[in-house]
């Protein structure tokens, strides 16, 4: 049995501790915001397809489509308000004097 490949794996694992620390750490606020943006984007794409299927007569469940559209609109509005608050906080930091 050749021991060199096993030693190489151990050396790689010891040098890659920063990656392990990232896996064990909780997600940052930025990561959470990015995932929420991706979620809203995915909802918008699904809703676009649902509206097209209603327009083409492929589905009859107009009520569910409208409920999903309204839910996505509310999520987008919330995300927009969060963006505005972050932008205001950034601008306030830029106005501060040292």
Among 59, 33, 29, 31, residue whose Cα is nearest residue 46: 59
Count how many domains the chain has.
1
* pTM summary value: 0.66
User: What does the pLDDT average to over 14-38?
Assistant: 73
Domain interval for residue 83: 27-95
91 in a domain, yes or no?
yes
Decide: helix, strand or coil at residue 86. Answer: helix
Position 68 in a domain: yes
pLDDT at 87 (0 to 100): 94
Q: Quick check: is 73 in a domain?
A: yes
Instruction: Give the residue among 50, 47, 68, 66 at the shortest CA–CA distance from 58.
Output: 50
């Amino acid at each position: 049995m050749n021991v060199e490949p096993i030693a190489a794996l151990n050396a790689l694992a010891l040098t890659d501790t920063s990656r392990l620390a990232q896996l064990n750490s909780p997600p940052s606020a930025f990561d959470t915001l990015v995932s929420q943006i991706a979620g809203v984007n995915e909802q918008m794409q699904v809703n676009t397809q649902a509206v097209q299927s209603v327009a083409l007569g492929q589905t009859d469940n107009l009520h569910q489509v409208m409920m999903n559209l309204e839910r996505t609109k509310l999520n987008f509005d919330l995300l927009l308000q969060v963006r505005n608050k972050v932008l205001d906080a950034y601008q306030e930091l830029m106005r501060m004097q040292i």
